[in-house]
Amino acid sequence: MNTGNFIARLLCMAVLFIRLLTGGADYLKLVNEYPLGCYRPAPACYRVRLDNSIPLSSLDDRLLDNRDRGFRTEVYLTLGSGKGYPASGSTAYDTLRGQVGLYGEDRFRVIQTYIYLIEYVDRPLDALAFSQLTDYLAYIDSLGYQCLLRFAYEYDASAGIGPATDRIVAHAAQLKGWFTQNLALVNRVVFAVQLGMIGLWGEGHTSVYPHDAGIVTAAVADMVPENIYLMCRHPRLLPDIGTPYYGRYGLHDDFLVGISHPWGMLDFDHPQYKRMLNRCNYFINDGEMPWGSDNTVEAIDPVLFLRQCVGYSLTTLSITHNYKENAGANHELNQYKSVKLSKSLLLREKFPFNPRFLDENGEISVFTYLQYHLGYLLCASNMKYKNGKLEFMLTNFGMAAPFEYELVVYGDGTPYPTAFDPLDLIKFSQQKYCVAIGEHRRVGIALVHRRSGQTIKLANDIPYENGINWIV
């Protein structure tokens, strides 16, 4: 067992014992409500000062081309008719082109891709459905984007149409075959998969028929190749996830408003809230604000909102919601372009940030902060290269780990695979590496995605060529 996680477990047990003495059985029920485990919390600050042995970069928009992170948009494909959203008159391709045109300047790399199965609610998927699915994802891949995939059925609570559990399971079995047959495409284009399937928009609520969540979570996990991360909408679904699949499911909060709300996840004062945040460090998580036209919460405080984003270790965040969706409206994310965060506030709030990204006044806007710090933001420093031995440190200035990436050191053209665990680089983490590579004229670092082969540009002012960051 990892020493840090063992200590975390001991602390959890100590806190539980104290609360039991003061709160009794009610607290015991709440503290065990969800199987959140006892994960080691993230560091609260950076402990090692970065030197300039590998030149550090200031704000560089090329970093926004890094994959598997950042802002995301949202599209829909209704299998059968080929519509976008089931109730719309637009095709899926029209919807996609519209999103790219509207948000392209914001440099998103991930698209939440809803695949609606409602037209097959009473029958198996057919060749047309699989052809539409393959062609649509191939088109997204050709544009250089990735999919955060979600299969869903229901979209209108008044329609009274939805699948029974056995239909979901049957479709999942068919889709498993599709994933297997199209694995190369899936590995390139599918970033992660959300549970979906149950209820309105696949969010797990307001379904026509009751469902056995354990059966559905297992069917989806079996459907998706085992090395792809999954997400579910709320911790209340975690108890239904079987042991073989539990370690694959992160979370997505589709109602980020900066305060506790029944439509979000756990209340901030829930006994397991901090444990949930600790767990979030080790899984891919996604979030979105309510639509800009939603007045459930009158105004969303930007700092409180960022606390949620950082706390949930968000890898991706929707810009389809609460930004540009109503022409001429000045929604929250657009307002955040002019809301500044000072260095002192960032430090006080314990928000990870790259200090070289602050402007001449020592500030960064909320929007720009999100744009660069969602997911990973890696920087190399503290290098020594002597007698054929290379030492360097990686620092993560982002909110989340570089999930699924592997580290390769290059001496000229020769690769030297290096022991690397992405979970060593959760937020506020720094990790030192030592590799014997011999003497070389040029030395580089490549972080390579294990499925897609995509690479990461580091936040360093050095050549980045063919996926390699050349540090010497």
Q: Residue range 84-93: average pLDDT?
A: 95
Please determine, for residue 119, whether its predicted confidence score (pLDDT) is greater than 90.
yes
Split at pLDDT 50, 70, 90, the class of 27 is low
Q: Where in the chain is the domain with CATH 2.60.40?
A: 380-470
φ and ψ at 443, to 5 degrees?
A: -130, 135
Q: Where in the chain is the domain with CATH 3.20.20?
A: 61-343
Q: Which residues contact 176 (CB under 8 A, 6 or more apart)?
A: 222, 223, 224
Q: Please name the CATH architecture into which domain 61-343 falls.
A: Alpha-Beta Barrel (3.20)
Sign of CA dihedral 390, 392, 62, 423: positive
Q: What is the pLDDT of residue 244?
A: 85
Helices (H), 267-301: 273-280
Please determine, for residue 11, whether its predicted confidence score (pLDDT) is greater than 80.
no
**To the nearest whole number, what is the mean pLDDT of the chain?**
93
**pLDDT, tens digit (0-9, with 9 covering 90-100), for 323-340:** 998 888 899 999 999 999
Q: What is the pLDDT of residue 326?
A: 86
Split at pLDDT 50, 70, 90, the class of 33 is confident
Please determine, for residue 216, whether its predicted confidence score (pLDDT) is greater than 70.
yes
17 or 195, greater pLDDT: 195
Q: What is the pLDDT of residue 15?
A: 55
**193, β-bridge pairs:** 149, 230
Please determine, for residue 23, whether its predicted confidence score (pLDDT) is greater than 60.
no
**pLDDT, tens digit (0-9, with 9 covering 90-100), for 342-384:** 999 999 999 999 999 999 999 999 999 999 999 999 999 999 9
How far apart CA 258 and CA 261 sit, in angstroms, is 9
340 or 27, greater pLDDT: 340
Q: What angle do CA 170, 172, 176 make, to 5 degrees?
A: 120
Query: Of 125, 147, 126, whose CA–CA distance to 136 is shortest?
Result: 147
Q: What is the pLDDT of residue 76?
A: 98
Please determine, for residue 21, whether its predicted confidence score (pLDDT) is greater than 70.
no
CB distance 216 to 167 below 8 Å: no
Percent of the chain scored above 90 by pLDDT? 85
**pLDDT, tens digit (0-9, with 9 covering 90-100), for 100-113:** 999 999 999 999 99
Pick from 211-215, 306-310, 396-400: least confident: 211-215
Q: Residue range 6-24: average pLDDT?
A: 55
Pick from 40-44, 242-246, 320-324, 455-459: least confident: 242-246
Q: What is the pLDDT of residue 198?
A: 95
Q: What is the pLDDT of residue 327?
A: 83
Report how far Cα 350 is from the mean position of its chain's Cα atoms. Answer: 20
Burial 188-220 (b: 16+ CB within 10 A, else e): bbbbbbbbbbbbbbbbbeebbeebebebbbbbb
Q: Residue range 266-281: average pLDDT?
A: 95
Q: What is the pLDDT of residue 1?
A: 43
pTM confidence score: 0.92
**150, β-bridge pairs:** 114, 194
Matching CATH number, 380-470, of 2.10.110, 3.40.1350, 2.60.40, 3.30.70: 2.60.40
